[in-house]
Structure formats: structure tokens, C-alpha cells
Structure 1
């Protein structure tokens, strides 16, 4: 009997340590970053640059897969229903917060995805055509109060440009005709061709057109000026701190992913974002790296939700 007890006890001890050992060797095969948008967009660009940096930190391949659809909800749902083993992550945009606000139903619960880390912020830049007489937010407010009002293009209901338009309307009053396009790029082209008066898009989208003299920036909607557009004042500097939003990207994991893995991924993300290799590919395009702890990211998400939810209710935003 004594000889049987010892092996049995040894087995119990080894089993007790299996989860810890599994986390210690993570990752031992390729990790996936799921992007909820198609290739070539800002979210995809950030995911690929950061994935390359993270792979070097973890000494393991990080694969980016595009799963576009339903305003990024399809990709989020895939990750929410994935095994919580640390090998599938979701690279989100702001829709992960706003989609539940404007959609009548969601395929997953809010708690099914847990925050891992904030990646980047691309401030939204309010732009007009290069020959427009509008040179500031004050000028835009003045035109909104004329009989003509302002025609403002967006990338669809619940998009960041839509939120900017609603913020402008709530703060300055006047008449705003909000015109949804299929994408931010299409809305930007409408401004260049003078089909509409203004729009607001991610800095990475509008910077080439600003540099080419086709668009005129009148304000950045983030808390500070961005490196790539140092001469563009923020809305806050112009006296309108309420006009505040950015196109951001962050990483989420399925609920139940071991805490040790979440922490290790957060550390790898932060280390990657601080490298010259990553910064040199993002900052010139108007994308600001935003490393920070999981707690900081969680607070950021809570603040965004608390700030944007009243705008959704007041403007009665509903999915198209």
C-alpha cells in the first residue's frame, strides 16, 4: 500500500502544476491577431505593424487575420467564442464600445472579451476643402447657423465622424446635414470635390490629402497636437474641449484567458510600441503609440463609454 501511495501522490503534484507550466511556456506556437476590418485600413495597418513588433518580443510568430463584417462585430464574435488559451486575440477599434450602443442585438456579451492593452490613437482631424472659407471651428459654427447650414460626411452611423458631427451640433447648434458614405475615404473624397462642406477622419487617412494641398485641417479632436501635424490646433485649444474623440486600436482576449498570459501579452505590446522600428512606421502617418497597463486601458474604455453613451441617446443613433 505504501508503494502505491507515493506514485499516486506524485501524479497529483504533477497535475497541480500543469496550468502553471503551460503559462510559463506560452506561447509555444503561432498567435493570431483577428482584425474586424478588411486589409489596407488603419486598423489593419496598426495590427500588422504591432504584430511584427510583438512577435519579436515573444520570439513567436503573430499572424494577422482579417475578418470584416457588421462594423467589426463579426471579428469580435469569433474571438469571443475562441478558446481562452492565449492564442487568439482581437485587435479592436472604437466600435467595440459603440456597437452595443447602436445595434439592436449583439452576438456576444460585453464581458466575453477582456482588455489586454491599448495600442495606438489616431486623432480625428476635422477637414474642409482647400479652397473653403472655413478656417476654424468657430467659422464652421458660424456657417452652420446660416440658412445653408453644414453638410457633413461620415463613414456611416456610429462611425467616429458621425460622433464628431453630433458633438459639433450639440456644442455649436445650427443646421447639420449628416451624410453617410460607405467609408471614411469616400466621405473624404466628397469634401475634396466640394460635394459636402466638411468631415472628420483619422489622421492617417487625411494626412496625405492635407500634404497634397487637397484638404485643409481646422482642428484635431484629441487632447494634444499630434507629431505629424504640429501646426493643427486641437478643438480644446480653440475653446471646445467637449469635441474630443480619436480613432483608437486596442487588443482584447476571450474571457477566461489566464491572467499571466494577459499580463505577458500586455508587456510585449508595450515593449513593441516603444521600439524605434514600430514608432518610425506609425508616427509619420499620424498614428500615436499609446502603451500602458491593462488597468489604464480598462479605465480608458470606461471613460469612453461614459462619454459617448449620452451622445448616442441624445442623437438617437441607430444602426443603418
Structure 2
């Protein structure tokens, strides 16, 4: 899937930062850059982070080293970043539930918006409902019918707040009982789908893609209002009778609060060059990643929109904090 026109429009804007970055950025980076991925290896964000880290090598004088710090729905790794020096040598890649966690978890040791510096929006996360080929349902309607006839026997796998909410929101709207089964990464969830240990699960296209050639996995539905180009034959949940079902996420790149504007500009320039490289674009397509590169303002807008969405869901009683 080539980069769309809207996504490519952001690349020249990011490249333009290179002409304005002051001398401070020229001395950065002076050592390897740690890219914290606060989730277990093998999931979509981990795959995206490693692909970008490799693609940034020609644009930066120091390597970007991915470091997985899983746990606490992303909180452990994110808190580590808040304590890091804001010098551009510690960054993190997080999914949109970085913002949603404040509405799901009892407490957070940081403010997900105020305590981080947005650098760039990296990708859109379309979520897909996956199941094993041996399961007795071939589409969403059949799965929901099976779940109604077998109350409590169809657990829904999730890896963070968004996939958990999507699974429980689908169950609520369909009036079926489907327990939330939590995993630490999309890779672990998919392993249990393939092995037949988990009936269904919501995960990213990037997590699902590596398993599609095995013939042991089916995609039952897409969470957004439009089909994903990675699985064009798979209908959306809306097409299968779940009205107004349109939920997706994103992956954003952040640094600690106080990250210098010059370093942010240099990072954006390097990302613009990396995302314009056809080799990375082809790799994204093969991995099932939907690139959506936008500068810091675009990431801030996405985070603020996410915050409003979850605040409204909490006010309506559709989500509750864990005890």
C-alpha cells in the first residue's frame, strides 16, 4: 500500500524543519538514542519502532536502539521516559491508549499529555477481529450467534485499553457475554489465536499480518467505518450489522517534557526523510502498517481528541476504572 496523498503532504513540512533547526540540534545526538516501546516484543508497535529505528540510520549520526519495557498497560515504560533527561536521547513510541489509560487505570504516575513532548504522529492503527481457522465461525455474525448460544465461552483477547474497549463495546452492543482476556502484546495474543487457545481477539493489522499466510487465522471484522487495504475482502463491523461502530488508534512518538524544539525539529526532519524512502514504505505494506506521518501539532490534536472521546465514554458509564 503506497503512502496516500494526505500522508505524503506531511513529509515536505517535516523536511522543511531542517533549514530552521539551530546549532543546538547539530550536536545531537551525541550517543545512541533509546526508543522505549512500553509493550512486549512482537506486537505492532514494537514492529513499527524497529522498522523506523533501522530507517533512521542514514539520517542520524547515532543509532536508534529499541528497548522494550512492558508492563502496566504501557505505564512502566512511559514513567521511565518521564524521568529521563529531556535531551533527545530517550524517546518512546506509544499507542493511543497512552491517553486512555487515565480513564481505565486507578491512577497514573504522570499526566499522559502534559508530562511528555509530542514529536510526531507515526501511524494509524486499524483494529481487526481475528480468530483461528479451526473455530466454528467464519464471520462476525456467526461468531456473535455462537457466543449467544454459549454464554461465557467466547473470551475476547485484548492487549491494551483500546482493544479491550472495542471488544467490550461490541459485546455490549450485540448484547452478548464475552469476557475480556488481557495479553501483554499483540504477538502473544496472535500465538494463542493460532494455537486455538483464544477464541477471538482484537489486534492491529501489523500484529495479524505475519500470521495470515499460514492459513490458520481468519479476520472476521474491521473496527473502522471503512475497510482496511490490507484485508480488503473483510467487511467492517458496521457492514455486518453493528451500527456506527468506528474505533481505531494511532502510534505516536514522544519525548520527556521539556524536549528542546531544535531536537524535535531535527527528529521530524529525519522522520520525513525515512518515511519518504520507498524501501520503508514497502516494508510498512508488508508488515500491515498504515503510515500517517504528522508533526507534533498533529500528534497533540490526536491526543486531545482521544482524551475527549474517553472522557465522554467514561461520563456515559461505558467504561470504568479498574479497582
State the TM-score, normalized to the length of structure 2: 0.79
Relative contact order (C-alpha < 8 Å, sep 6+): which is higher?
2
Contact 1:217 1:232 in 2 (8 A): yes
Aligned length: 301
Structure 1: distance between partners of 2:92 and 2:189: 27
Match of 1:74 among 65, 73, 76: 76
Q: Measure how far apart 1:117 and its partner are.
A: 0.9
Contact 2:42 2:185 in 1 (8 A): no
Alignment CA distance shift 1:296-1:240 (3 Å)? farther
User: Aligned residue for 1:7?
Assistant: none
User: Aligned residue for 1:61?
Assistant: 63
Alignment CA distance shift 1:181-1:291 (3 Å)? closer
Aligned pair 1:129/2:94, yes or no?
no
Match of 2:119 among 116, 119, 123: 116
List per-residue Cα deviations over 1:234-253 (Å, max 9, x = no partner).
33444546433345321001
Instruction: Give structure 2 stretches of 5+ with no counterpart.
Output: 1-20
Alignment CA distance shift 1:70-1:174 (3 Å)? closer
Alignment CA distance shift 1:258-1:198 (3 Å)? same
Alignment of 1:107-186 (within 5 A): 107-110=109-112, 111-132=114-135, 134-146=137-149, 148=151, 151-155=154-158, 158-181=160-183, 183-186=185-188
Alignment of 1:261-276 (within 5 A): 261-276=263-278
Aligned pair 1:90/2:61, yes or no?
no
Instruction: Give structure 1 stretches of 5+ with no counterpart.
Output: 1-18
Q: Choose 1 or 2 for highest CA Rg.
A: 1
User: Aligned residue for 1:305?
Assistant: 307
User: Aligned residue for 1:253?
Assistant: 255
Give SS of 1:176's match. coil
RMSD: 3.0
Alignment CA distance shift 1:184-1:39 (3 Å)? closer
Contact 1:166 1:311 in 2 (8 A): no
Contact 1:160 1:201 in 2 (8 A): no
Q: Measure how far apart 1:113 and its partner are.
A: 0.6
Give SS of 2:245's match. coil
